[in-house]
Structure 1
């Protein structure tokens, strides 16, 4: 199945969801059961581990939201996009880029994440 730019919106919706039950539902909708997610700070496999990673990001950055930094690009089963993470309406202290690969059902099965800007520890 071909990935679409709109999948980036669903992806970020899952990352932005703070209600655990609603987030689990989005994770099941958007990600394959055997999803793998790798970035400089995490390397996890499976929906439960990804959900726990998302919850940990909410704990680390309370009140922050993910938003697309520009249009997502998709072809074949691949999707790439840049995102900002920060308080609503303010400059984002964290910027990253993700590349995702979908499975035959159109769910994300692999995410390769890169952090382009992260705040320095205080």
Structure 2
């Protein structure tokens, strides 16, 4: 893989702000392996409700291009399209063999104020595409 860890993090963050659906799909195909998975550690209220109804370790999961495309589109529609927020990668990406760790931020478009963020751990295949993406939202 010739892409640096920070370049990967920047491309990843840019995907979530891409307004064109066709360009988003192409970006997904460049970033993820065809059967790649995006796993999200759910917010506390979702975890508590899942445990209450008998799911001890809830995980939110999107697998494959179609599900990833839906996941990214929903995040775009909810946070970016209204013009209130944008996403950006922090300058902290590091790579250890086939794993890249980086942080991201959601910031107010109007004020630049931090509104959220999280940490990603992504596992890459031999072609440099994401096979597993572990997201831990929250700062």
Structure 2 length-normalised TM: 0.76
Per the alignment, residue 88 of structure 2 pairs with 67
Which secondary structure does the structure 2 equivalent of 1:16 belong to? coil
Equivalent positions of 1:41-56 (< 5 A) are 41=42, 42-56=60-74
Per the alignment, residue 4 of structure 1 pairs with 4
How far off is 1:3 after superposition? 7.1
Per the alignment, residue 27 of structure 1 pairs with 28
Which secondary structure does the structure 2 equivalent of 1:23 belong to? helix
| Long gaps (5+) in structure 2 | 43-59
Per the alignment, residue 112 of structure 2 pairs with 90
Contact 1:3–1:76 (Cα < 8 Å) also in 2: no
How far off is 1:23 after superposition? 0.5
Contact 2:14–2:88 (Cα < 8 Å) also in 1: no
Q: How many residues align?
A: 117
| Long gaps (5+) in structure 1 | 118-122
CA distance in 2 between partners of 1:45 and 1:22 (Å): 19
CA RMSD of aligned residues (A): 1.8
Which structure has the larger Rg over C-alpha atoms?
2
Structure 1 length-normalised TM: 0.86
How far off is 1:35 after superposition? 0.7
Per the alignment, residue 120 of structure 1 pairs with none
